[in-house]
Structure 1
Amino acid sequence: MSDPRPESPRAIVDRRALTARIGELVARDGAQDARPAIVSSLKDALAAGQAELAQRLEANPGAGHAIANDNAYLIDQLLRIVHDHVAHDLYPGEREADDRFTIMAVGGYGRAEMAPHSDVDIAFIVPTAECEWCAKAIEAILYFLWDLGLTVGQSIRTPGETVALAAEDLTIRTALLEARFVWGERALYEETRRRFWAEVVHGTEKDYVAEKLAERNARHERMGDSRYVVEPNVKEGKGGLRDLQTLYWIGKYIHRVRHGADLVESGLFRPSEYRQFRRAENFFWAVRSHLHTITRRNEDRLTFDVQREVAARMHFADRPGKSAVERFMQYYFLQAKRVGALTGTFLAQLDEQFNEPPRRGLLANFRARKRILHGFVIYGGKIDAPTDDWFRQDPHRLLEIFQLALDQNLEVHPAAMRRAARDAALARDLRDDPKANATFLDILTHREGPETALRWMNEAGVFGRFVPDFGKVNAQMQFDMYHHYTVDEHTIRAIGLLAKIERGELRRDHPRASDLIHELKHRRALYVAVLLHDIAKGRGGDHSELGAEIAEELCPRFGLDEEETELVAWLVREHLLMSRTAFKRDLADPRTVEQFVGEVLSLERLRLLTILTMVDIRAVGPGTWNDWKRQLIGSLYDLSEQRMRLGHQRQGRRQSVARQKSRVGELLGPQHPLVEYPGETLPDSYWIAEPADVIADNLRALAASDLGAIAISCRPDPERGATLATVIAPDNPGLFYRIAGGINVSGGNIIDARIHTTDKGVALDNFLIQDPNEQPMDEPEQLERLRENIEDALSPEGDPLEPQLARKPQTQWRAEAFDVRPRVLFDNSASKRFTVVEVVARDRPALLYRLGRALFRAKLVVHSAHVATYGERAADVFYVTDPDGAKVKDKARLKDIQKALLTASKPKELEAA
């Protein structure tokens, strides 16, 4: 017999040859004694088949459908071999005439689509529950499958039980919808299928659709409710495989379609749309197969640590300004976006079919009442185009439909979205049309919420055609752990947040911005700045500078005057200035505010930049904006506003301190004298740097402490999303890094540190801490361990932390997927008293401890530390002096410090110490 051709099914598994091999083993040793050798042969066949499929995937990395089908074929053949061995070799003599069962593939396996490590979902259909031979044979089959290392989802039921359960359970009903005969008694399979369609499906079509769409919505909510999350779930995420499968299930349930192509015949898709369906499905299956192959498990989340490898396997390459992984993820999100559009089209057609009037009777000609608005048809709360060529007749209507939808609080009908997507290229001709630009600006700045309309425009492809610079960031992923969404989704969310702030809907979260936005003179400029602040991402170079150049070109086109254009360009260029200053500089240092005000120059710019900064940070992703950041941004705003209004730094600081003391006194109530004692021992910089509630806690602790002893308190702070650890101790060199080490030994990560010293030589340090999952440490045992480890770290026995941290097991740190080149920067102009040292490095556990220890060994005194993390990247800033209180200016000394800090920021530094 000649060898099978490489692409033939027998190259995956040769059932005849494997069956013959098992027969030989049984003939030689007997069925029972041959079992270990049979399992070994089956394992070898499975491994060889998987290796063959892995080679095929490597040779043709985009062959998603083929690999999914071939994986199912491999399992089919093994199941058939095992079934025949059990039935004919293990228990042949015990079988009665009616002892029979069928093996039915269900779920994804039923569709004959499997990724390399997918679960094997099978249903064993037996004639009666009392069939002892069936039970014994099925148990033997399952043991063989488990011995092969397969994860099996199984059920054993009669046809009647199967049908009864399917009628009650949506999951079972959907699994049976995909049922496929694999092996055994076909008559049982046919009976089950016939009864399923007759007794379960018939008459329940509308209920099934409603339940399935509700299930889909709940799944979307669970997975983040966006198809643009940067670590998407290929199977369950919005716009992924499960959404495509849901469309197929619905089509099959209603129209009994046997294949995806039948969705065209049933009127739910056009041929071109079905081709898009298949293209997206093929791509997702390929990605999922690569994921399983790389991770060697049933893994469907496309996490940062595997994205780069999947991109390489699928032959994506770097391009100027955009890495291979960013190009791959952009293509991924474009496919997810296409799935969203197809879903809208599919459901619109389904709605039309469900709502067709009866062909006979009194309601034969009844339809919902329609009205006409500017030529558009409005009915059922939706706006639609009256004819197929409506947008071609007048391309301006591509924008007008979204404007009217906003004005009238309507949805855009999916049929109109389908036509708009088809004709979106016509929007290119509108770019220099003043009327079209006025319409777009009206949509962007609409007071009733532009987010939905802009998202519709983006889904239809009109947005990117009309504003080509925005089209370039469509589905543009930023390969980092900081940004949760693609650039276009982040931008649209930021615009939506801005509109909600203006309507007063986010006053509780953003009270300051909710007031400031109504004091603006240039409201339109703010909306345009939010639109353009990240417009140049992915082009290489400084996206802020490049974005400002784009703003200078686009603003006049949109109809903004010269003053507005200049303002938008400045906001885009400096949109990171406020967060950079608030999070990475000491606000208690007068020079910080002085330099910031020197950049901003006017109160109008300050208000605009403050609001832009807030929505930009919050739109990054869930949990990114918190009370700590609110306090820092708010403090910088207050200090800057006072400086501009009063024109004198010292007077502004006195007023800030006085106001803070008043707030703290109110919080302390009967204990308000603590503001003067021990509060009088604390410098003005403390009152400016710390929030009022933290100061109140600190003053109580100071009053209760023995000034020569150590006092440590740890409490969860849910509003700030962290745990606040306060340490009061006699000030001495190395105190800061020892505390940081104690926190790290406890499994905590420091997100902010504030270091203060009273005029009596007592250190008062506040640390905000999170666990490795970016949550507060709030269990009593955690808090006690944290307190004890800090206390141990400050013990006089020396420095026991290095060996403890070296021995501490390191969990897989997600940041390891990124290449962040460490940098050390010195700035002697940012402060009148201190040298500012900024270390940018890949974030990792104990980084702050290592850097603090390096500064201590370099004989530097740390006066304040500011920790800013941006996903995988940490920017730790220290205000330091020499022991005599002088700045560090000697070039040779600075070079030595730089070398020590670079060494400390490297992963293996701790073990080598």
Structure 2
Amino acid sequence: MTSETPRRRRPTPPRFDNAWLAELLAGRDPLPQHLRAAHKHGSSRLSELATAGASAAALVAARSRMMDTLIRALWRRNLGRTRGLVLAAVGGYGRAELHPCSDIDLLVLAEEKLNDRRAAALEQFFTEIWDIGPDVGHSVRTLEECRQAAREDISTATNLIEARRLAGSKKTFEALQELAFSDELWTSRSFFERKLEEQRTRHAKYHDTAYKLEPNIKESPGGLRDIQMIGWVAKRHFGARTLADLASYGFLSREEHRRLVEGQGFLWRIRWLLHEMTGRHEDRLLFDHQLRLAETMGYEDSEHSLAVEQSMQRYYRTVMELNRLNEMLLQLFKEAILLEGDPRIQPINERFQLKNGYLDVVDRDVFRREPGALLELFHLLQQHPEAEGVSAGTIRLVRQHCHLINEDFRRNPDNQALFMAILREPQGVTHEFRRMNSYGVLGRYIPEFGKIVGRMQFDLFHTYTVDEHTLFVLSNLRRFALSRFDHEFPDCSRVMRGLPKPELAYLAGLFHDIAKGRGGDHSELGASDALRFCKRHGLSEYDARLVSWLVRQHLLLSLTAQKKDISDPRVIHEFAEKVGDQLHLDYLYILTVADVRATNPELWNSWKASLFSELYQNTSRALRRGLVNPVAREELINETKRETLEQLDSAGINTEAVRGIWSALPGDYFLRHSPSEIQWHTRALLEHGDSGKPLVQVRRETERGGTAVFVCSPRDDLAFARSTAALEQLGLTVLDARIVSTRDERTLYTWVVLEADGEEIESAERGREILRVMEQEAGRLGGDPRDIRRRMPRQHRMFSTPTRISFADDERNDRTILEITTGDRPGLLTRIAGALLDARVRLQNAKVATVGEKAEDIFFITETDDSPLDSEARRQELEQALKRQLEDGADSTSL
């Protein structure tokens, strides 16, 4: 024999030996306390094996065998001599898939109605199972009752298909199995159609995406339920007992079977660990679980990626693959079950055809002969909307030939032209880019995109993985381009359809976050990627640089709108200079709205929409005037006054009285408020008169979105902190705060608020409650702010955001800009206001923004004599006061 290098032996995985349990139960009638101790010991041993690296498949099977032994012992103890009863495991237990806190689902099949003695024995049997430890779900039925229940409920029929005999008559159980697989309950066709509809409904509940920040590993698309769905149909129609049987029937290749089993094992391992960590039946991957799972599974932080982000990327890529396999297998089942007889063939070209309504290759060698067909496939789907999708066999071939998309493929002019044709097609852009991502084509064609597939950011702001977010951006842009969605965002739709080349916006959307996770500035890196891609694909120098500029500046508009005082004409002028012309502004505006909406839909609201629109409109106006001829501050103030006076005069309001009110107001007031707001304030002040008492008004519907709360009171530096505390105690989210000091020693406050969940305040009763509480606070002149007593949301407690404080000079307005980034929490604004009081600082204006778990707030402040904070000593004094207030409340769950 020739000598060979010896192969390294794989370590033998630890195994769960049931012998100790058999010995415990042998030759005796075990008491419940013995079985309880056995369950506890066995569960502990399984936990040790999980820690030692035992496979999830071995663990769930071992736990199932352990429960079989314990439950059979209890059955013998209580009903061992009883005839005419069958004990069967159903559900996950029927599949012999038990996790630490899985329910034990049992069916007792009775040949006839139970007498009192048998009923009492069964009740004792179930009680003793409960006493051992696991949660038990059970039903007791005759065969006829099983028939009736299964006809009415597809879930019951599914349970019968999965039933596994534990004890009792084999003959009676065989009768149950014969019933379960018979057409008198559900035909294969009706069973498949109902289960398919069940899956569609379940996926829709999770917005047809598996990529939410806190996914459900069982119910979300690509989760364990999708694998179970495959098994149910395979058992009912084909009689397959295992996933491996599908391979022998030709439905799965060996490689696909391997991926399916590996994916299932990975999800089982996560589920096992989740149950052990929480001590309950838990299928949600909540943030706190994600951190502990990453550590338990051995992930470590790297330079550009947290351990939790790495582990979650593996999770998302796994469910993406499982979702793809689920789609392919169900399509194969559909062809086998629903599409009987000779297939309907409609030729398209020499490479593709429609087969039974699905796009299909003419032969299996199409992609090998002509790799460009890997892109042509998606273009044809756009051009043939009557196609229901892609045939399962073609999906499999696409996956098998993705490796042909290499550098030569990418440099091929025909393939480049095909990609741009897909992007420019008037319909189906979003659907096909999603399909390209799902089948693995998009990540191969744009390798940089492949790196962000399944990549998550561990925060509350970025709701989706980077690739899923990017595809939502593309979807939002497409909705702007289609007239049937004009009612959603009329301004964006108008701007979008005025663009000369919409595909440039789509390219910017595809590349805007493509460099996430690489380190460095993702906007700069992505801009370079976009420039190279556009030039390679034949775009003109101007168009390529426009796309690159959009990627580099994709955050510019949202940051300007949310962090700067866009009522200041000079801020508008500076922004207009950066944008340069109307075309760049148009592209940037629609990209920004599409991006922010796709980042976290729950944080999008009418207030943000109005901010972005206001900045867009004011910048358009500045560009029309010309950058060398900016709008003068006084000109804008006079224009606002003139427009408001015309409205008041037409309403019969005495203009001389109006000018009397306005004489006490500084010019900044007319910059910070719209004519509609000024008219509302003016009317309220005229009606209130010169009583010297505070004035409070609430307007539930405003042009900027949200509910406006207006307070006019004698100057009192405690008033802001007190009023903000009242708003937060009411459970309101403050979106904006504008403060104006008048020349007659009063202060005008205007807050814009929403409910804590981001919803508009709708009921008149809620509006009256806000008015009542704010009037009480305004009347407590000089009183201290009330404590905030609200619990911090669960998700926010998982994040530790370091507090960052910075100062900048606003020389043009003689004030100081204070920027605070810290963890969001109840009472945050009240604490900040308290710190300003402690440092004897006056608040002039505020821009409030919450980004997931972070608060990023801007405050415009002065000394009490309205001069800026010039000295470093004063700024340090304020910084220390802020840190004292914020650090005192950072660890509190209530304030």
TM-score normalised by structure 1 residue count: 0.89
3-state DSSP class of the match of 1:609? Answer: helix
Q: Percent identity?
A: 31
Q: Deviations along 1:12-34, whole A, 9 cap, x unmatched? A: x72541577864x6xxxxxxxxx
Q: Structure 1's 473 and 769: CA in aligned 2 closer, same or farther, altered over 3 A?
A: same
Say yes or no: does 1:333 pair with 2:316: yes
Partner of 1:266: 249
In the alignment, residue 830 of structure 2 is paired with which amino acid?
A: Y
Q: Structure 1's 799 and 15: CA in aligned 2 closer, same or farther, altered over 3 A?
A: farther
Say yes or no: does 1:510 pair with 2:489: yes
Of residues 309, 313, 325, the one that matches 2:296 is 313
Say yes or no: does 1:570 pair with 2:549: yes
Q: Structure 1's 238 and 682: CA in aligned 2 closer, same or farther, altered over 3 A?
A: farther
Say yes or no: does 1:254 pair with 2:241: no
Q: Structure 1's 721 and 601: CA in aligned 2 closer, same or farther, altered over 3 A?
A: closer
Partner of 1:35: none
In the alignment, residue 525 of structure 1 is paired with which amino acid?
A: L
Counterparts of 2:674 and 2:279 in 1: how far apart (Å)?
49
Q: Deviations along 1:261-285, whole A, 9 cap, x unmatched? A: 1112233222221211111111111
Partner of 1:180: 164
Q: Which moved more, 1:903-912 or 1:391-400?
A: 903-912
Q: How does 1:276-675 map to 2 (within 5 A)?
A: 276-354=259-337, 357-358=340-341, 366-373=342-349, 375-409=351-385, 410=387, 411-428=389-406, 429-647=408-626, 648-651=629-632, 654=635, 658=639, 670=651
Counterparts of 2:600 and 2:642 in 1: how far apart (Å)?
34
Preserved contact between residue 627 and residue 719 of structure 1 (Cα < 8 Å)? no
Partner of 1:29: none
Q: Deviations along 1:798-852, whole A, 9 cap, x unmatched? A: 55546x33xx362553122223222112121485332111111111111111112
Q: Which moved more, 1:300-309 or 1:675-684?
A: 675-684
Preserved contact between residue 639 and residue 656 of structure 1 (Cα < 8 Å)? no
Say yes or no: does 1:878 pair with 2:878: no
Q: Structure 1's 623 and 809: CA in aligned 2 closer, same or farther, altered over 3 A?
A: closer
Say yes or no: does 1:745 pair with 2:729: yes
Say yes or no: does 1:45 pair with 2:23: no
Q: Deviations along 1:587-620, whole A, 9 cap, x unmatched? A: 1123322322232222221111111101101112
Counterparts of 1:548 and 1:573 in 2: how far apart (Å)?
5
Say yes or no: does 1:835 pair with 2:816: yes
In the alignment, residue 592 of structure 2 is paired with which amino acid?
A: T
Counterparts of 2:643 and 2:487 in 1: how far apart (Å)?
22
| RMSD of aligned Cα (Å) | 3.2
In the alignment, residue 396 of structure 2 is paired with which amino acid?
A: R
In the alignment, residue 841 of structure 2 is paired with which amino acid?
A: L
Of residues 15, 40, 43, the one that matches 1:7 is 15
Q: How does 1:707-786 map to 2 (within 5 A)?
A: 708-713=692-697, 724-757=708-741, 760-776=744-760, 786=770
Say yes or no: does 1:68 pair with 2:60: yes
3-state DSSP class of the match of 1:638? Answer: helix
In the alignment, residue 153 of structure 1 is paired with which amino acid?
A: G
Partner of 2:4: none
Preserved contact between residue 749 and residue 846 of structure 1 (Cα < 8 Å)? no
Partner of 2:7: none
Preserved contact between residue 642 and residue 652 of structure 1 (Cα < 8 Å)? no
Q: How does 1:794-809 map to 2 (within 5 A)?
A: 794-796=778-780, 799=783, 801=785, 804-805=787-788, 808=789
3-state DSSP class of the match of 1:235? Answer: coil
Counterparts of 1:344 and 1:679 in 2: how far apart (Å)?
68
Of residues 827, 841, 844, the one that matches 1:863 is 844
Q: Which moved more, 1:774-783 or 1:756-765?
A: 774-783
In the alignment, residue 290 of structure 2 is paired with which amino acid?
A: Q
Q: Which moved more, 1:222-231 or 1:773-782?
A: 773-782
Counterparts of 1:196 and 1:657 in 2: how far apart (Å)?
81
Counterparts of 2:464 and 2:405 in 1: how far apart (Å)?
26
Q: Which moved more, 1:721-730 or 1:244-253?
A: 721-730
Q: Deviations along 1:743-784, whole A, 9 cap, x unmatched? A: 223333333333345555543433344455444566777666
Say yes or no: does 1:54 pair with 2:30: no
Say yes or no: does 1:84 pair with 2:76: yes
Counterparts of 1:660 and 1:537 in 2: how far apart (Å)?
47
Q: Structure 1's 354 and 186: CA in aligned 2 closer, same or farther, altered over 3 A?
A: closer
Q: Structure 1's 211 and 700: CA in aligned 2 closer, same or farther, altered over 3 A?
A: farther
Q: Deviations along 1:448-501, whole A, 9 cap, x unmatched? A: 141111111111111111111111111111211112211111111211221221
Preserved contact between residue 590 and residue 831 of structure 1 (Cα < 8 Å)? no
Say yes or no: does 1:141 pair with 2:125: yes
In the alignment, residue 8 of structure 1 is paired with which amino acid?
A: F
Counterparts of 1:422 and 1:54 in 2: how far apart (Å)?
39
Of residues 811, 829, 834, the one that matches 1:848 is 829
Q: Structure 1's 607 and 357: CA in aligned 2 closer, same or farther, altered over 3 A?
A: closer
Counterparts of 1:580 and 1:876 in 2: how far apart (Å)?
12
Q: Deviations along 1:191-212, whole A, 9 cap, x unmatched? A: 32222223645x6111111111
In the alignment, residue 895 of structure 1 is paired with which amino acid?
A: Q
Partner of 1:230: 213
Preserved contact between residue 718 and residue 785 of structure 2 (Cα < 8 Å)? no
Preserved contact between residue 665 and residue 672 of structure 1 (Cα < 8 Å)? no
TM-score normalised by structure 2 residue count: 0.90
Q: Structure 1's 506 and 856: CA in aligned 2 closer, same or farther, altered over 3 A?
A: farther
Preserved contact between residue 770 and residue 777 of structure 1 (Cα < 8 Å)? yes
| Paired residues, number | 874
Q: Which moved more, 1:702-711 or 1:677-686?
A: 677-686
3-state DSSP class of the match of 2:255? Answer: helix
3-state DSSP class of the match of 1:423? Answer: helix
Preserved contact between residue 324 and residue 438 of structure 2 (Cα < 8 Å)? yes
Q: Structure 1's 131 and 720: CA in aligned 2 closer, same or farther, altered over 3 A?
A: farther
Q: Which moved more, 1:587-596 or 1:164-173?
A: 587-596
Preserved contact between residue 402 and residue 412 of structure 1 (Cα < 8 Å)? no
Of residues 807, 820, 826, the one that matches 1:826 is 807
In the alignment, residue 483 of structure 2 is paired with which amino acid?
A: G
Q: Structure 1's 679 and 467: CA in aligned 2 closer, same or farther, altered over 3 A?
A: farther
Q: Structure 1's 233 and 715: CA in aligned 2 closer, same or farther, altered over 3 A?
A: farther
Say yes or no: does 1:159 pair with 2:143: yes
Q: Deviations along 1:202-251, whole A, 9 cap, x unmatched? A: x6111111111111111111122212222211000011111111111111
Q: Which moved more, 1:836-845 or 1:49-58?
A: 49-58
Q: Structure 1's 83 and 519: CA in aligned 2 closer, same or farther, altered over 3 A?
A: same
Partner of 2:100: 116
Partner of 2:873: 892
Following superposition, the deviation at residue 257 of structure 1 comes to 1.3
Unaligned runs of 5+ in 2: 1-12
